Structure 1
Amino acid sequence: MSEQSSSTLNSLRSVADGASLHYVGMLVINLAGFLLTLVLTRTLGATIYGIYAYGTMVLQSVLTVSNFGTDVSATRYLAANRSDPAYQNRILGLAYATTLGVSLVVAVFLFVMAPTINAYTLEEPLFEPAMRVFAVALPFQALTYVVSSTFRGLEMAVGKTVVAVLGPVAQLIAIVAAVAVGYSVLGVAAAYAVACLVAFSIAFWYALAQSDLRPEFNFSRREALDFYDYSAPLTLSKAGNFLFKRIDVFMVGIFLAAADVGIYNVAVLLATVLAMPLIGINQLFPPVASRLHSEGAIDELESVYATVTRWSITASIILALPVVIYRTEILALFGPEFVAGTTVVILFVAAQLFNAASGPANDLLTMTDHQYLVMVNHLVFGGLNVVLNYIFILEFGMIGAALATASILAALNILRVAQVWYLEGLFAYSVTLWKPLAATALAAVVMWLAGLYVDGLVLVIVGSTAGVAAYLMSLYQLGLDDRDRELAGEYLGLMG
């Protein structure tokens, strides 16, 4: 094996380590999220669940600006300066100080503006006090992102996964306990805030125990300016990211009822399962991309980019099948009123497939010093999404919201791939992609045939299992890439 091939395999191994561990974490996270949503929808109903979902959505939207882009900045600078731990400590201190200051300001603003938000959106009496309780959780969630970025920048996959799991698991335990003793949306919001505090406390302690880095606050003015020059456009980029990813839920709350918010949110959450593979890849791809780009290893970077994009497509497309084919049966688990979200599921699955097919193009742009372009992308497409949502929601209701946002996501991801190709000369696709597409066709037939014999939850379980098995066997028979085979052999011990 040549030196470059060996180096490429090592880079892919780092990404695969992060992805495989993250998938384990995502299984826990998604199971916790599924159980939490199931408990809340079954006990609170669509309207009260809609208030909870809307409150957490508002919280997630302001989180995009609450750390001023310090999570991504910390990842980049920690990864690119491994030989200078003193500098890494100062960067970490800068990230924590910035996040704490900005998140406190945003939390106070959210607390004060809760009545106004309620007046212009849901107009539900319980939403205002619930939103104020959610605001208390904001600084703890923002600081947890910085802890996560520490592990990410150091390419410590285990630590990143542990921190990712802490929040959802703590929320599940605390909120289920609150529901069990009879609390409604206010008690659930309080349990959410307590869970965020506990998750951050454990995550921070864990980071100190697993790493030699310690946040220091004696950073220079020049270091701060360089840091903010990178993080400031990322903040605007994240704001735009919210506009094209989650503004639809916000606008559904403005123009439609709280029950519609609940139904729409459940449908969106089902479709976002498809993002798991790419999210896993992106756990350690950014620091690897930053390192390779700074070293000038462009050929290796393109090879890694192409390989992980193929992984993203291969893993996401099989997740899409059961969600689309069994969408009615899955939505019915949350209650009969949630079946109204079937068309929303289809539209968002299509959008997520475009996202998966683009691979880590957005992170690649960010890690190759095109952060301002990423900011413009997100702001422009975010603005377009607001306009399309306004027009389509008034015309088609919540299906219009899904159509607008899905179209924007598809167009943006196509543009990202073109920009990476034009600006960096990196291209991710080859004719070998016919293999997962052929395997998908066979799996779809298997899943459809299962519906002739069973139905309901049994169909979802049996059909999905049979379809995934057919997909994996087909891929194996069609032949794996040499690097995939070697990595699979390392992880599964099945192939030499």
Structure 2
Amino acid sequence: MSPQRSPNPADGEPRSGGPGAPEVVPSGEDSYVARVARGAGISTAGQGVGRFLGYLTQILIARLFGPASYGFYTAGVAALNLAQIVSRFGMENGVVRYVAHYRARGDASRVRGTIIQAVAVACLVSVLLSAAMFFGAGFMAGWYYKEPTMAAVLRAFAAVLPFFVFMMMVLWATQGFQTVTYAAYVQQIIRPALYLLLVPLFYLFTDGIVGVVAAYGLSMLLGGAVAVYFLWRLFPEIFDPKVRPKFETRALFSVSVPMSISTGAQYLNTWSATWILAYFAAGAPVGIFNAAARTATFSTIVRFAFSGIFSPIISSLHAQGDRENMGRLYKDISRWIFMGAFAIFMVILLLSHEILALFGGDFTAGWAALILVAFAQLYSSSVGPTPRMLAMTDNQNVVMFATATAALVGVAVSALLVGLASTPDAKILGAAVGMSSAIISENTLTLAAVRRRLGFWPYNAEWLKPLAAGVLAAGAAYLLGLVLPFSAAIPTIAVVGAAFGLVYLALLLLFGLSPTDREFVGAFWNVARRYLRRGRGRA
């Protein structure tokens, strides 16, 4: 039975679930809100574990080697990520699409052929790029980075590249079977945990930052082996010689190549400021900026957690022509994303010095960059999953235009401000402005496109509740921080952060939850209880 509909409000926009709003979504276990809560709950857990392990590893590397070596490591990671995106050649999109397509038709030969061809093409390109990186490392170190140390770092990362690409392509292949569980296990838990364990081991038995890169590569190799095992569990025919692979080269490349453009633009939005900063000031400034930017992206955990489950639901509603529920879901999810992201932003605002001090005393110089990029990420969260909304409603070309335009803006602003800055601190701040410009540009363009093409707008009076709760909770936590008897970073973060969180939640409850808020909380709690019961059952 189709969901009940209600007339559009007078302003022409679907209303969010505020007090007095009509119920237009199904209720119970199969409601859109319940499905979002379940998906977001599982994804948040995976994202949270992965981000936490990765953050601990970055802190460990920074404290072991200092800001200069950490900066060289960061520049190497930027080069590695660029090379792996070029190596994939958009094949990750093709393998997901056509594995799902041929599997639905029961065509095991074409499923096997698609996986083999996508992985083989990407790995072949990665080997070629790895060789170019290795033999060109000396030239790049002298010409671009102007730092001889970078040659050894680039060569080490060149050796890592094929393992990285192989692991990622196998994980993308598993997602073609309509599950993200195995990719989450490897990407967010197994591989980061292995890396965290290997870093101190390699530090003891190797010399310098190159040893850390070796640990990075070994974690990729082991992660790739686990990924192959998961793929075999999903599709045993992958190693069955009786299933002759059939290759659909034209179809695979027709999807992969155009999407590689969008992926490249997204890379520039994330890494262009680091590249430009590395050109003008390789070493410590890059390390300090990366610590600030990486910390600022913590708020994106909330958006990513919702985006995965949001996409198929919106795609289904669009196919049904159900604009009423599309608008409601977009409004509600945008508000929920903002609630979580605003809490993380306020904690960063309160504790910017203390958080960066975890990396080492020198890293506190990036506090202004941290707050600036964190604000840009908060704005990104406030517009909701606009790129997914557009991509799932046949407006993917708009997303590509917005992403590419934002990338150009970020590169131009970063190059101008970093190039003109005369001090390391000013260069770090210039890179932060450039990165923030790219983030704000992309999200402003996609927000405007959602408004113009679909007629949806995420904001309403319900947003005043989390805003007021966050400001009041931050004031209370700030006053508490002034009277604390200790000054060490970890206890200050723990006490002030916990105080803010408790007051924030209490005020949200005091201000009142909307009907969809209550349904979301109830469904989220049900998911948590089920996992707790399973845990007790295994124990």
TM-score computed with the length of structure 2 as normaliser: 0.83
The structure 2 residue matched to 1:440, chosen from 455, 461, 470, is 470
Change (3 A) 1:491 1:109: same
* Alpha-carbon displacement from aligned partner over 1:129-151 (angstroms, at most 9, x marks no partner): 22122122223323333344455
Higher mean displacement: 435-444 or 87-96: 87-96
Change (3 A) 1:438 1:123: same
| Alignment partner, residue 484 of structure 1 | 517
Percentage identity across paired residues of the two chains: 27
1:56 aligned partner, one-letter code:
V
**How does 1:378-417 map onto structure 2 within 5 Å?**
378-393=403-418, 394-395=420-421, 396-417=426-447
**Contact in 2 for aligned 1:21/1:158 (Cα 8 Å):** no
**Is 2:89 the counterpart of 1:68?**
yes
1:109 aligned partner, one-letter code:
A
**Is 2:177 the counterpart of 1:145?**
no
Work out the CA distance in 1 between the residues paired with 2:376 and 2:95.
30
**Is 2:238 the counterpart of 1:208?**
no
| Cα shift at 1:326 | 0.7
**Is 2:391 the counterpart of 1:372?**
no
| Cα shift at 1:108 | 2.9
| Alignment partner, residue 175 of structure 1 | 199
Work out the CA distance in 1 between the residues paired with 2:171 and 2:517.
28
Change (3 A) 1:356 1:150: farther
**Contact in 2 for aligned 1:446/1:463 (Cα 8 Å):** no
| Alignment partner, residue 429 of structure 1 | 459
| Alignment partner, residue 102 of structure 1 | 125
The structure 1 residue matched to 2:219, chosen from 195, 199, 204, is 195
The structure 2 residue matched to 1:185, chosen from 191, 200, 209, is 209
| Cα shift at 1:389 | 1.1
The structure 1 residue matched to 2:63, chosen from 24, 42, 67, is 42
**Contact in 2 for aligned 1:252/1:261 (Cα 8 Å):** yes
* SS of alignment partner, residue 326 of structure 1: helix
Q: How many residues align?
A: 492
Work out the CA distance in 2 between the residues paired with 1:469 and 1:190.
42
Higher mean displacement: 3-12 or 311-320: 3-12
Higher mean displacement: 367-376 or 270-279: 367-376
Work out the CA distance in 2 between the residues paired with 1:154 and 1:427.
34
* Alpha-carbon displacement from aligned partner over 1:426-465 (angstroms, at most 9, x marks no partner): 4433322222112111221122112112233222110100
Work out the CA distance in 1 between the residues paired with 2:96 and 2:330.
18
| Cα shift at 1:272 | 0.9
| Cα shift at 1:423 | 2.6
The structure 1 residue matched to 2:351, chosen from 309, 318, 326, is 326
**Contact in 2 for aligned 1:268/1:344 (Cα 8 Å):** yes
| Cα shift at 1:197 | 0.9
Work out the CA distance in 1 between the residues paired with 2:116 and 2:389.
26
Change (3 A) 1:140 1:313: same
* SS of alignment partner, residue 171 of structure 1: helix
**Is 2:282 the counterpart of 1:250?**
no
**Contact in 2 for aligned 1:36/1:176 (Cα 8 Å):** no
**Is 2:496 the counterpart of 1:468?**
no
* SS of alignment partner, residue 428 of structure 1: coil
The structure 2 residue matched to 1:456, chosen from 485, 488, 501, is 488
* Alpha-carbon displacement from aligned partner over 1:197-245 (angstroms, at most 9, x marks no partner): 1111102212332467859841335xx33x4333322211122222222
**Contact in 2 for aligned 1:355/1:413 (Cα 8 Å):** yes
Higher mean displacement: 336-345 or 416-425: 416-425
Work out the CA distance in 2 between the residues paired with 1:106 and 1:46.
28
**Is 2:138 the counterpart of 1:115?**
yes
* SS of alignment partner, residue 475 of structure 1: helix
Larger radius of gyration: 2
Work out the CA distance in 2 between the residues paired with 1:449 and 1:490.
35
| Cα shift at 1:277 | 0.6
1:126 aligned partner, one-letter code:
T
Change (3 A) 1:259 1:54: same
| Alignment partner, residue 3 of structure 2 | 3
Higher mean displacement: 135-144 or 388-397: 135-144
1:377 aligned partner, one-letter code:
A
**How does 1:248-397 map onto structure 2 within 5 Å?**
248-393=273-418, 394-395=420-421, 396-397=426-427
Work out the CA distance in 1 between the residues paired with 2:391 and 2:254.
13
Work out the CA distance in 2 between the residues paired with 1:414 and 1:235.
23
2:212 aligned partner, one-letter code:
V
Change (3 A) 1:273 1:51: same
Structure 1 unpaired stretches of 5+: none
**Contact in 2 for aligned 1:76/1:290 (Cα 8 Å):** no
* Alpha-carbon displacement from aligned partner over 1:163-189 (angstroms, at most 9, x marks no partner): 222222222122221113353111111
| Cα shift at 1:292 | 4.1
Structure 2 unpaired stretches of 5+: 5-24, 530-539
Work out the CA distance in 1 between the residues paired with 2:127 and 2:279.
26
* Alpha-carbon displacement from aligned partner over 1:40-76 (angstroms, at most 9, x marks no partner): 1222111111111111121112333221223344445
**Contact in 1 for aligned 2:112/2:237 (Cα 8 Å):** yes
| Cα shift at 1:20 | 1.9
2:470 aligned partner, one-letter code:
T
Work out the CA distance in 2 between the residues paired with 1:17 and 1:98.
36
Work out the CA distance in 1 between the residues paired with 2:144 and 2:520.
50
| Alignment partner, residue 30 of structure 1 | 51
Work out the CA distance in 2 between the residues paired with 1:487 and 1:78.
33
Work out the CA distance in 2 between the residues paired with 1:114 and 1:12.
51
TM-score computed with the length of structure 1 as normaliser: 0.90
**Contact in 1 for aligned 2:265/2:407 (Cα 8 Å):** yes
Higher mean displacement: 156-165 or 268-277: 156-165
Higher mean displacement: 35-44 or 473-482: 473-482
The structure 2 residue matched to 1:135, chosen from 158, 174, 195, is 158
* Alpha-carbon displacement from aligned partner over 1:83-135 (angstroms, at most 9, x marks no partner): 43437666545543443333333333323332232123333333212212212
